[in-house]
Each structure stands twice: as structure tokens, then as C-alpha cells.
């Protein structure tokens, strides 16, 4: 699990490899749609996290 204090960094070579893989998997026509959907999903996810009940302890249980 990642905590709020963990920040992931990627150097330019890793980013280029990831972009090439995305192009191969999704093609050039679907990447803008994927980016748009991801851009809409991130704020919704953050809003859901901020509205979570304070007594939710399910995160550390297995």
C-alpha cells in the first residue's frame, strides 16, 4: 500500500518506455480518449477519498 507521503519519480527513459508501450497497446486514436477519462477519474477518486467515513479501518486488514 502506498501512503500519502510516498512520491514516485520516473526518469525520462522510463517515461519514454511507458509512452511507447501505451502507444503499442492502445494506438494513437485511443490515447486522447484514455487521457480524458483518466483526467475525469482522478478528481472523482480524490473526492471519494475525502468523503470516506472517519471510522473506516478496512485499509490495514487482510
The answer to whether residue 10 is domain-embedded is no
Give the pTM.
Answer: 0.46
Number of domains into which the chain is organized: 1
**What is the reported pLDDT for 55?**
58
Note the residue count of the chain: 62
Q: Percent helix, strand and coil across the chain, each rounded to 5?
A: 70, 0, 30
The string of pLDDT tens digits covering residues 1-34 is 455 555 567 788 888 898 899 889 888 888 888 8
Q: What is the mean pLDDT of residues 28-46?
A: 88
Please check whether residue 54 lies inside any domain of the structure.
no
Kindly state the greatest CA–CA separation across the chain: 44
Specify if 44 maps to a domain.
yes
Q: Let me know the angle formed at the C-alpha of 49 by 46 and 55, rounded to the nearest 5 degrees.
A: 170
Q: Does some domain include residue 6?
A: no
Residue 43 lies in domain: 16-49
Which helix H or strand E contains 11, and what residues bound it?
none
Amino acid at each position: 500500500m502506498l501512503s500519502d507521503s510516498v512520491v514516485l519519480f520516473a526518469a525520462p527513459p522510463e517515461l519514454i518506455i511507458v509512452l511507447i508501450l501505451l502507444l503499442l497497446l492502445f494506438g494513437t486514436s485511443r490515447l486522447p480518449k484514455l487521457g480524458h477519462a483518466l483526467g475525469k477519474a482522478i478528481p472523482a477518486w480524490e473526492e471519494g477519498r475525502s468523503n470516506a467515513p472517519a471510522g473506516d479501518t478496512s485499509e490495514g486488514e487482510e
